[in-house]
Amino acid sequence: MNRVLCVVIIALLVACGALSLGLNHYRDNAMTYKEQRDKATSIIADMQKRQRDVAELDARYTKELADANATIESLRADVSAGRKRLQVAATCAKSTTGASSMGDGESPRLTADAELNYYRLRSGIDKITAQVNYLQEYIRTQCLK
């Protein structure tokens, strides 16, 4: 009977040892998976924050660009309606026919093509400036982190 009891006790100890090893294996796996999950959650949270930051940057600079375009269109409409004038550094050519007198010449004015080119250039400058500012801030806030 003593022998049977020893065999049963040894069998129970072996079974407990096997269960303990299995339990440790699954516990280690659970801890590893938890670390991976926490790291992935952290990465996802960082990516979401960056996406919100980029969306805010995009909205701000898109609004600035739209405001600049609206200002240019307003200027164009005001110049066309005569409410505002473009200042041009120009001189009027003197009339070579007849006697010279004060006030004969016309005031300097841009041609229609030159005026259109002015608005195009101004719009392009505003657009490129906004794009450069956006990209510089994007690099500063997103890429250099």
Sort 138 into a burial class: Cβ within 10 Å, 0-12 / 13-18 / 19+.
Answer: middle
Among 68, 48, 67, CA closest to 56? 48
User: Cβ–Cβ contacts within 10 Å for residue 60, how many?
Assistant: 14
pLDDT of residue 87: 72
pLDDT of residue 90: 62
pLDDT of residue 2: 87
pLDDT of residue 100: 56
pLDDT of residue 128: 92
pLDDT of residue 37: 96
Q: What length does the chain have?
A: 145
Match 């979401």 to its residue by tokens. 48
Give the number of C-alpha atoms closer than 13 A to the C-alpha of residue 22, restricted to the C-beta side: 6
- What is the C-alpha separation between 75 and 120, in angstroms, rounded? 12
Q: What is the mean pLDDT of each run of 10 residues along the chain (145 residues)?
A: 87 91 92 96 94 92 90 88 77 58 63 83 90 91 82
- What is the C-alpha separation between 89 and 76, in angstroms, rounded? 19
Domain edges within the chain: 51-86+108-145
